[in-house]
Every structure is written in C-alpha cells, then in structure tokens.
Chains A and B, each alone.
Chain A
Amino acid sequence: MAVTNASGVSLSLNDRMIAGLLSLCIGAFLVFGAGLANSAVLHDTAHDVRHSFGFPCH
C-alpha cells in the first residue's frame, strides 16, 4: 500500500513538472508573440492590445 502510494505520488509529481513547464513554455511563447515580437504584422494586429496591456510599444 505504501509502495503504490509512493509511486503514485512520484508519477504525478513528474506529470506535474511536465505539465507546468509545458504550460510556461507555451504561455511565454503566446505572450511574446502577441506582446513583444518585433514583426510589423503582429504589431499592427495586436496594436491596441499592446498599448492597453502596457507592453512596451513603438
């Protein structure tokens, strides 16, 4: 019982690490693309959003 418990915990811990890091990477990518990327098309599409979220713009 104790063994199954322990393995269950470590597995879910591993899963949590993967889920957490994956979330951070994808999230950072999306925020960077919308808020900071130095591309004219992305800038113009997200222009009002960049200003209202207070991302440095122009």
Chain B
Amino acid sequence: MIVKTLLAAICAGLMAGLFMTAAQELRVVPLILQAETFEGEPAPGASPAHEHSSLDSSSLFPSLTSAILPITPAYAHDGETHEGGGILFGMGRFSGTLIANLVTGAGFGLLLGGLGILTGSPPSLRTGLTWGALGWLAVHMLPALGLPPELPGFPAADLSERQTWWLVTTALSALGLGLIALRPGVVAKGAGSVLLALPHLYGAPQPADIASPVPAVLGAEFAVAALATTLAFWLVLGSVSGAINDRFLKTA
C-alpha cells in the first residue's frame, strides 16, 4: 500500500512535469533566452550586472565573458568554488530542463500526496483541482507577492536570504491554507490568515539597487507567464493525482 501510494504520486508528478516542459518551451524559455541577451550589459546608472550561468551559448557575449573570466561564469554568482558548472551528464539545455521538470514534478507530486494522506483527505478526481490550486497558492502565488519570478539579470538580494524567506513563506502559506481549507471554525480560519500574512508583514529581502539591464516589459511578461504555467502545472498535478488515486487506490 505504501509503495503503491508513492508510485501514484510519482506518476502524477512525472506527467505534470512533462506537461510543464511543453508549457515552458512555448512561453517561458523564450523569455529567459531573450533576457539573457541583455544580461551582460551594464544597467543604466548601476554597477555592472553580475555574470550569469555557463549556459551562455545563447548569450551575445559568450566569448567576451570567457575572456574576462577564466572560470565558468556559474562560479561567479555561486560564490563558492566547489565544482564547475555545466549540465549534468553533458546533456543539452532542453534535456536538462526536461529532467529537472520531471524531478520537480515528482517532488511536488510526492509532497502533495504526502500531505493528502497525512490530512486524511488525499486528492480525488473531485478535490484534485482544489488541491492543485492550493498548492499553487502556497508554493508560487503567495511567495511571489514578496519575491516575484525573476528573469536572469534581474537585481536581487542575497541568495540564501531569499531562499530562506521563500522556504519559510511556502511552509507558512501551506500551513495557513491547510488551516483555512480543512479546519472548521472561525478561530482556525483566523489563525490561518495570520500565518498567510506573517511573512509579508516581515517582508521579503529586496535588492538595494533595482536598476536592471533587462527591459521591464520582459519582466512583466515573464512574471505572468511563470505564474500561469505553474498554475497549469498544479492543476494538472492535482487532477492527475486525483484520477490515479480514484482509479488505483480506492480499493487498496
């Protein structure tokens, strides 16, 4: 039964990841590639933007970058020199994206399935969409209020501070939404709302200098595209999880 549950969640996640890859290639990746062509340029009135990853085959200045930096640019923003950049197993950029989507999908599928089991109401075909929408709110929409999806080249505060804020916000949002959605009573809903608001009252880490070489229009398009594709991803994930649960786990 345990293995079956895990497999169901992983299957749903893989399907959602596959779907996400298609959605990304249509809308999100083109915007990332376009932004990377601006990335090396100095922002108007700002210190030169930090260098970007070693995936700069599409960048306008690959030779310039490698001429200036003997190490791969991935080091430059990584800050630690423990290993070189480059894509796992020497795969192409698309393969890397596909693998990462599958892994992320399986991961979110397992998280969703695990929370469903622990709260005693795993996603079904009927509740799958709601589960998916709540997952999107907790992982993407609410954290995006403080840290909107960024394009390469956007100014940003310290990485570990942002990651910490993101993790805490995601966890508190999930807890708050769980209280609101699953617990009856005004007290639970009030407490849930407070949990949702807390990280935003504290405030997300913001960059000191917001000048950017990447055009603002690209950033706006990207933020909408990223939130829309992740919403679709979570709705697919919730529905497929529910369908698989209904079909294979009802009798288990």
Interface: B213 (CB within 8 A)? no
Main secondary structure of the interface of A (DSSP, over half): helix
Q: In this assembly, does A8 line the interface, its C-beta being within 8 Å of a C-beta of chain B?
A: no
Number of interface residues of B (CB under 8 A): 72
Neighbouring A residues of B106 by C-beta, 8 Å: 27, 30
A48 and B32: CB pair below 8 A?
A: yes
Q: How far is the CA of A38 from the CA of B118 in the complex (A)?
A: 30
Contact with B along A18-58 (1 / 0, CB 8 A): 11111110111111111110111111111111111111111
- Set of chain A residues within 8 Å of B159, measured between Cβ atoms: 38, 56-58
Which residues of B sit under 8 angstroms from A52, Cβ to Cβ?
Answer: 24, 28-29, 32, 149, 225-226, 229-230
Contact of B100 among A22, A38, A45 (CB under 8 A): A45
Min C-beta distance of B37 to chain A, whole Å: 15
Smallest CB separation, A51 vs chain B (Å): 6
Is residue B186 contacting chain A, with contact meaning CB distance below 8 A? no
Contacts of A47 in B (CB 8 A): 53, 55, 96-97
* Chain A residues near B (Cβ < 8 Å): 12, 15-24, 26-36, 38-58
